[in-house]
Amino acid sequence: MIDINIIRSNKELVKENIRKKFQDHKLSLVDEVYDLDEKLRKLKVQGDNLRQERNTKSNEIGSLMRDKKVEEANAKKAEVTKINEELLAVEKEESDIANLVNEKMMMIPNFIADDVPIGRDDSENVEEQKFGEPKVPNYEIPYHADIMARFNGLDKDAAGRVSGNGFYYLMGDIARLHSAVLAYARDFMINKGFTYCIPPYMIHGDAVNGVMSFEEKENMMYKIEGEDLYLIGTSEHSMIAKFKDQILNEEDLPITMTSYSPCFRKEVGSHGIEERGVYRIHQFEKQEMVVLCKKEDSETWYDKMWNYSVELFRSLDIPVRKLVCCSGDLADLKYRSCDIEAWSPRQQKYFEVCSCSNLTDAQARRLKIRYKKANGDKELVHTLNNTVIAPPRMLIAFLENNYQEDGSVTIPKALQPYMGGVEVIKPKK
């Protein structure tokens, strides 16, 4: 959520940002908020004047009663009663308009960085840099679900009977590999100085509204029936909301955390749930990195975070590239974002495995997360997040890039300690 003072002082700047995101249907929100805010401020003045008038008359009543002027005092009491009735109406209207302003403000997107490429959707994202040499072996690499099946490692049929489409069972070496990459990612981030966390997997609705847009909420989140609880779509949701309504100490910033959680997503409006594979699913596990920092440090942390993703994937012999997200592909709260995409030798193209975002103070303003400066002033923090790894999707890149002609999969040296020293896993069939 942006600062309403910007709408008060420069509506056109806000509208131009909306146009850059190709959300022209939201342009009217700016004028609506401006007009409602004007009305709200007038109501606040009216309310303050009524309270002052009530206090003055109440004091007069006391003086009149002391002077035994009962009739005049009763007349003043009647005036105070009328003022109270008028004040209640003003306060009710003020509260209703304030809620409406807040609701509309939450639909206005955050400002994007000046250097974000302008484009309508992810087809116009811009490749910025490649890391590692993408290779295509001279032998066929099977579809990832078939590789897993040869290790007796994937059962989507049984999961379909138990849970429905979009779920899976991982077993044997594939399940062990899944756990190994999560443990490796955890330790990788701990070694970068991040604090390891396991957050709640369900959060209240006000926390959801604080960390994401209404559109994302409707398309992603599973709600627990009959309760004000939602299953998280990523641990970032819990980790940022952990600091809701808090005033942090300046000396405690930056706060750097790496969190593990299962993630649950409806995937409404996505490209669809795969019948056979595990690329787009309703449930997966994820290691995340989250940073809360001062405004002047957020861009430095953004660069550090996506570079950590590159370093991790390269340590597992997986070529990757950085893809800068264009304006139309940025979620409403994002200032800038990039995807780290892994090379698929089977498809001979890259696909997303990490997403790194700087949200500046958009989440912090919604959640009222501030820090106290040395001079006593309070300022909103900036929040950032990035995927460390998200298997089983990450396993697709791992299996394809380490797949051998005989059907075995080599285990990179960095991962071997997490696989019990195993250097290669071999198919069962």
What is the per-residue DSSP string for 160-199? HHHT-TT--EE-HHHHHHHHHHHHHHHHHHHTTTPEEE--
Q: What are phi and psi of 41, to 5 degrees?
A: -65, -35
Domain containing 22 equals 4-105
173 and 228 fall within a common domain: yes
The residue from 59, 80, 105 where one domain ends is 105
Cα separation, 393 vs 218, whole angstroms: 23
CA 321-295-117 angle, to 5 degrees, is 40
187 and 70 fall within a common domain: no
- What pLDDT sits at residue 71? 87
Pick left, alpha or beta for residue 420 (phi over 0 → left; psi -120 to 50 → alpha; otherwise beta): left
- Residues of the chain short of pLDDT 50, as ranges, are none
Residue 272, domain member (yes or no): yes
What length does the chain have?
429
Cα separation, 131 vs 342, whole angstroms: 10
- What pLDDT sits at residue 371? 98
- What pLDDT sits at residue 272? 54
Those residues whose C-beta lies under 8 Å from the C-beta of residue 139, and which sit 6 or more positions away, are 405
- What pLDDT sits at residue 42? 97
User: What is the pTM (predicted TM-score) of this model?
Assistant: 0.91
33 and 173 fall within a common domain: no
Q: Taking each helix axis from N to C terminus, what angle separates 11-20 and 27-66, rounded to the nearest 10 degrees?
A: 140
- What pLDDT sits at residue 268? 61
- What pLDDT sits at residue 216? 83
Those residues whose C-beta lies under 8 Å from the C-beta of residue 105, and which sit 6 or more positions away, are 1, 2, 4, 33
- What pLDDT sits at residue 412? 96
149 and 297 fall within a common domain: yes
Residue 390, domain member (yes or no): yes
Those residues whose C-beta lies under 8 Å from the C-beta of residue 293, and which sit 6 or more positions away, are 253, 254, 255, 301, 381, 382, 384
388 and 253 fall within a common domain: yes
163 and 262 fall within a common domain: yes
- What pLDDT sits at residue 184? 98
Domain count along the chain? 2
78 and 218 fall within a common domain: no
- What pLDDT sits at residue 62? 85
Domain of 167: which CATH number? 3.30.930.10
- What pLDDT sits at residue 275? 62
94 and 141 fall within a common domain: no
Residue 112, domain member (yes or no): no
